[in-house]
């Protein structure tokens, strides 16, 4: 399947998932996870009950909503959850009340600087209710009495999340993590889970996987904390690299957010793949973090997790508004986000430490690896690459670092290494 | 007391101390140390006798002078020690002789390039006598006979110095060192001892001191060598950072002179404080050293000692002349030199290693440390700072380094750390 | 002998050696080595027989040639080995055949981009025959029949090489290596062996040598591999630095080719010598390597070997053609290549670790190392250098690194160290 086909397929999944009212708990999350399970049959869906503890956190009540609106005295719905689930502040408590225009004000959220966007607002851990609307709409509300109705439930229930373990030849793991708690928005966040699904399906097609893959779908923050509270010890022991999948669907640019110290294998592979692509990208600091790397990279967990994104959360004007919609993410944008992360996984699969088997340079022409006419002003580029790889194959420098030294990409180096290994000139060494 | 008040007080001390004829030994040093003892009652004044050994050095005779002049045949004093003690080469031997103008020449010192300045000249270790005068004065001396008189004594005596130990909760020490051997000059050197006094008095007001402070007043070079010869082993075992206090009184600029290798805690704190001040500063190399860091940082001693100065010795035209006077140093200049060094001490007192107590990010809103409305485009700056500190509080990175990483100063980081420690989210770790 | 005299002498040797038909084996190599043995009587000439193994390689048949030409039907020699030994592809097998112009084509080598140059071509490890000629000559060959004759022998014989061990006070070795397998060319390669001879003769005149010197003359590649296969273990144990001598005879520029990782003592000394010369130079990457550093620096051998060249092989238009002749190399060019490498050896001989003997600064004036009049605005530069050397003589920083820190060259630092050692203020420390 071509990358564009994959992009189209991902966009079709996004269109299916877009209308669902997701939050950190509730039916919308379960609906979303079941849709993903249809695409990844081995996905395991888990739940932890309200009141359960996860490190410093406690699972809140489950929230579900059936309807919500603000109507005028004529009963006309001026702000209507059924038109956009962004109109309702997530985790709004139930209400059915008549308020004056001024009383209503403290329950309204809008963006004066982006007057046609409905903002995305949540209040998971403090009971309140509120409505989000465009600033244009808010400014046009006349004085008078309004009927505010939220038909929601906040009750003990379950927080859901899911994971998929794809076993590899080694116990060492690569982590992919994404979140499934945002309602109708495209780049942040539907792009994350659908690229995760596409990567998982690609991994499942591989004839062999060296690494074990752990692919995690959680509500952001609380879900990652719950997941880590159950799995951090094995993850800390096994994880060699991890990737947060978020904001991977638009076409504007690429972005790299390093791990806490910026020196892990995940950082090295991400920079190598970005640097050897023909795309420019923005490099952020870990201070610009904002997603579940906050948990994965926290000091006592300290996993090697980076993000390769398209437009980073918090940096584009459509972020966390109704303008981050199905037209902001595109098949080409999604396929770029998919491909850049896929190449990191492929690079890690092919990365290795190699050591030469011969003292001095081997006799290449005996093995058909070099022309027999010497003295020409320039050695063939392919022979030069082979010799360069041999020169640095000291068993302590991995293919990613050798690739950076010799000015080829890691895939080219892996090809060269295979040629040399088959010729008996290299052997795998170390981990 | 405001910094300006402190500046005025320091300048008043400078005016009292200015007229005293100091040298590396003699009554002037004792007079100066007694004045300082009045301000710092716990100051201990020490003496070592002429002939005593200190590493490669031997204490010279004590030098005292009562009068010195060059008079013409009419008995008119043309160069008169009583007008400025800089007129006499320090450690001049006694003389009472009539000389021709040409014979006098080899005993005269002046600065053609600065014709109104009396230079400061010493001859501690070779017996000679000489007079310093402005070049203008020298050029105007007519031919004829002159009466050169130096009423000095060079006799076995004592070399004096002093120290003040301010005990802290820990045995680990911070060193402040300054010198008290220059006659009537302001920036180099009265600024050094008076800023040292002001810092000592500030340290004495602190409700608690974590570190023990060793504040040393010595004649430059020979005094530091004597001091180290008596104390180097304990100082090497205990000193975590040291500061040479010299040239801290004018208003022109700030200067930083690193330790020998430039990587000690003293260097880190000095650079951090200078970088986070709103003042520009000149960075010198250890090759530009010139004061007692020459001894403290010498290879077999190797203490972590830096200098934060205003205009560095040797770089300003008034240096080592009568133009470095009480108008060259000012209350504002002194208070700047005081404050920049004081902030280093305060930073060291507050610096610490911290480690988080929770796995993953803690639940900040439960503790009132974060707003409960999520999804807003920007987290409050204060919350962001707290989260950034938590992200790097791994028990191996001290507050100074964390401050550099997260782009706040160490005092802000210490406040944040206190907030987090009180909330049970951080604990002190390591030294 | 002045450097120019040495340059003239070297050029005279080059003129003697130029006409000899060298290849990787054969009479030409032996003739060349015997000439060198006349200049270096202790040179040991070695041989290994055809069929012998050296790591991954096998010694090929010995090749000797008495005559070779292409003649036209009139018997006129159009391409004649006797005019230039570059006309014959090295290791051409015997032939005596009449060919049509078109059949001849596959046996001809010329350079369209350099129409007056005869290229240098070899075919050591695949049996073929061929002729090299200027492109102008080739274009002018009319159609018709040609008589191609190569009177060569390819028979079991011997591969020759030589070495000279100059014992020093220590077993630690410095390696000089060069190659003697190229026919009539100047910079690449006669410059290499003749500079090696001159360096050896200079080393023999030294009253004492701290290091043992191993000076190696081999056919390139196969010879270095043979040599290493016999000596690598002792060389790996003993070699502290090594220099490939090649392309050291023209006047255009200087070039530096680092070792594999670029951080060895050989790299440090080469960069220091080049940086403190008043010559500019080009820095290459190890990826630009092309001579026997390919063997010496290969991962399992990993010796600290660099090259300081004039115009680097492969970068100048005359390279590997008849234009790299006796006029391309000059006495001045050779003497520059000689001197830059000689200074590296001299620097290594003088390099050492020193540690101060006194705590704090020593009393310099007592030892006549400092003026006794203090307080002057500037210390004498020579005293300042002595004090700077003392400040960094911590027993862990060698003179080359100290020289870089204090901004003097290593020879000046060695002089200063000798002064200080004689004054009892420094002692040698470590290796």
Would you say residue B124 has pLDDT above 80?
A: yes
Q: How many CB pairs under 8 A join A and C?
A: 85
In this prediction the pTM is 0.93
What are the residues facing A283 on neighbouring strands? Answer: A256
Cβ of C299 and A356 within 8 Å? yes
Cβ of B391 and A260 within 8 Å? yes
pLDDT in tens, A197-230: 999 999 999 999 999 999 999 999 999 999 999 9
Q: Chains contacting A with at least 3 CB pairs below 8 Å?
A: B, C
pLDDT in tens, C262-300: 999 999 999 999 999 999 999 999 999 999 999 999 999
Residue B362 CB contacts under 8 Å (≥ 6 apart), including other chains: A55, A56, B356, B390, B423, B425
- Compare all CA atoms of chain C with the CA of B299 and give the residue at the minimum distance: C394
Cβ of B361 and A228 within 8 Å? no
Please report residues of A whose CB lies closer than 8 A to that of C294.
360-361, 387, 391
Query: Nearest to residue A43, comparing CAs of A159, A242, A169, A196?
Result: A196
Cβ of B360 and A55 within 8 Å? yes
Confidence of residue B372 (pLDDT cuts 50, 70, 90): low
CA A98 to the chain's CA centroid: 42
CA distance B177 to B213: 11
Which residues of A lie inside 8 Å of C (Cβ-Cβ)?
A: 355-356, 358-363, 365-366, 372-378, 387-388, 390-395, 405-407
> Taking a C-beta distance cutoff of 8 angstroms, is the pair B294, B361 a contact?
no
Query: Which two structure tokens, joined as six digits, stand for A70?
Result: 């603000």
- Whole-number average pLDDT of chain B: 96
Average pLDDT of the segment spanning B142-164: 97
Q: What is the DSSP-derived secondary structure letter of residue B141?
A: P
- Residue indicated by tokens 């005028």: A72
Give pLDDT, residue C62.
Answer: 98
CA distances from B231 to B30, B202, B224, B296, B356 (A): 21, 25, 10, 11, 39
Query: Which two structure tokens, joined as six digits, stand for C261?
Result: 């990782």
Would you say residue C430 has pLDDT above 90?
A: no
Q: Return the number of other C-beta atoms located less than 10 Å from residue A41's C-beta.
A: 8
Confidence of residue B376 (pLDDT cuts 50, 70, 90): very low
Q: How many CA atoms lie within 13 A of C206 on its CB side?
A: 21
Average pLDDT of the segment spanning A271-297: 97
CA A151 to the chain's CA centroid: 32
Average pLDDT of the segment spanning B35-53: 98
Complex confidence, ipTM: 0.93
CA distance A366 to A283: 46
Quote the percentage of chain C above a pLDDT of 70. Answer: 98
Confidence of residue C379 (pLDDT cuts 50, 70, 90): low
Query: Nearest to residue A135, comparing CAs of A313, A321, A327?
Result: A321
Give pLDDT, residue B382.
Answer: 85
Give pLDDT, residue A1.
Answer: 74
Q: How many CB pairs under 8 A join B and C?
A: 85
pLDDT in tens, B231-286: 999 999 999 999 999 999 999 999 999 999 999 999 999 999 999 999 999 999 99
Query: Which two structure tokens, joined as six digits, stand for B238?
Result: 């205990």
Average pLDDT of the segment spanning B407-420: 97
Chain C closest CA to A368's CA: distance in Å? 12
Confidence of residue B371 (pLDDT cuts 50, 70, 90): low
Confidence of residue A368 (pLDDT cuts 50, 70, 90): confident
CA distances from A5 to A1, A383, C70 (A): 6, 37, 63
Confidence of residue C373 (pLDDT cuts 50, 70, 90): low
Would you say residue A25 has pLDDT above 70?
A: yes
> Residue C55 is nearest to which of A358, A375, A391, comparing CB atoms?
A358
First to last CA, chain A: 33
First to last CA, chain C: 33
CA B243 to the chain's CA centroid: 7
Would you say residue A370 has pLDDT above 80?
A: no
Chain B closest CA to C427's CA: distance in Å? 13
- Compare all CA atoms of chain C with the CA of A384 and give the residue at the minimum distance: C287
pLDDT in tens, B207-235: 999 999 999 999 999 999 999 999 999 99
3-class SS string, chain A: CCHHHHHHHHHHHHHHHCCCCCCCCCHHHHHHHHHHHHHCCCCEEEEEECCCEECCEECCCEEEEEEEEEECCCCCEEEECCCCHHHECECCCCEEEEEEHHHHHCCEECCCCCCCCCECCECCCCCCCCEECCHHHHHHCCCCEEEEEEEEEEECCEEEEEEEEECCCCCCEEEEEEECCCCCCHHHHHHHHHHHHHHHHHHHHCCCCCCEEEEEEECCCHHHHHHHHHHHHHHHHHEEEEEECCCCCCCCCEEEECCCCCCCHHHHHHHHHHHHCCCCEEECCHHHCCCCHHHHCCCCCCCCEEEEECCCCCCCCCCCECCCCCCCCCHHHHHHHHHHHHHHHHHHHHCCEEEECCCCCCCCHHHCCCCCCECCCCCCHHHHHHHHHHHHCEEEEEHHHHHHHHCCCHHHHHHHHHHHHHCCCEEEECC
pLDDT in tens, C166-208: 999 999 999 999 999 999 999 998 999 999 999 999 999 999 9
Give pLDDT, residue C374.
Answer: 60
Give pLDDT, residue C7.
Answer: 97
Mutual angle of helices B265-276 and B399-406, in 10-degree steps = 40
């Amino acid at each position: 399947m071509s990358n564009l086909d994959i992009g189209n397929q991902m966009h079709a999944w996004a269109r299916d998932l877009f209308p669902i009212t997701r939050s950190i708990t509730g039916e919308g999350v379960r609906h979303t996870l079941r849709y993903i399970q249809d695409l990844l049959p081995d996905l395991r869906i888990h739940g932890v009950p309200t009141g359960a503890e996860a490190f410093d956190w406690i699972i809140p009540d489950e929230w579900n909503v059936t309807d919500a609106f603000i109507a005028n005295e004529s009963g006309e719905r001026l702000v209507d959850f059924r038109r956009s689930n962004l109109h309702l502040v997530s985790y709004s408590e139930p209400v059915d009340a008549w308020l004056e225009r001024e009383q209503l004000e403290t329950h309204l959220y809008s963006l004066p600087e982006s007057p046609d966007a409905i903002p995305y607002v949540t209040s998971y851990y403090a009971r309140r209710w509120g409505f989000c609307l465009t600033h244009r709409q808010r400014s046009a509300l006349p004085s008078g009495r309004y009927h505010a109705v939220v038909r929601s439930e906040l009750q003990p229930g379950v927080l859901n999340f899911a994971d998929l373990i794809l076993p590899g030849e080694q116990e060492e793991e690569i982590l992919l993590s994404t979140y499934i708690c945002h309602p109708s928005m495209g780049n942040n966040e539907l792009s994350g889970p659908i690229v995760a699904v596409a990567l998982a399906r690609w991994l499942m097609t591989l004839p062999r996987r060296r690494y074990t893959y752990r692919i995690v779908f959680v509500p952001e923050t609380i879900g990652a904390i719950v997941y880590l509270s159950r799995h951090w010890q094995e993850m800390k022991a096994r994880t060699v690299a991890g990737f947060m999948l978020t904001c991977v669907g638009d076409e504007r640019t690429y972005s790299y957010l390093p791990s806490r110290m910026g020196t892990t294998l995940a950082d090295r592979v991400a920079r190598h793949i970005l640097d050897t692509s023909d795309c420019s990208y923005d490099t952020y600091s870990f201070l610009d973090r904002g997603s579940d790397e906050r948990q994965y990279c926290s000091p006592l967990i300290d996993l090697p997790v980076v993000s390769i994104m398209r437009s980073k959360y918090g940096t584009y004007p459509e972020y966390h508004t109704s303008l981050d919609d199905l037209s902001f993410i595109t098949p080409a944008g999604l396929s770029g986000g998919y491909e850049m992360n896929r190449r990191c996984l492929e690079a890690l699969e092919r990365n290795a430490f190699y050591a030469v088997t011969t003292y001095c340079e081997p006799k290449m022409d005996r093995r058909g690896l070099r022309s027999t006419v010497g003295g020409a002003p320039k050695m063939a580029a392919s022979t030069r690459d082979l010799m360069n790889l041999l020169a640095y194959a000291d068993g302590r420098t991995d293919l990613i670092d050798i690739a950076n030294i010799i000015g080829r990409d890691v895939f080219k180096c892996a090809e060269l290494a295979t040629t040399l290994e088959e010729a008996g000139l290299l052997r795998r060494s170390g981990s």
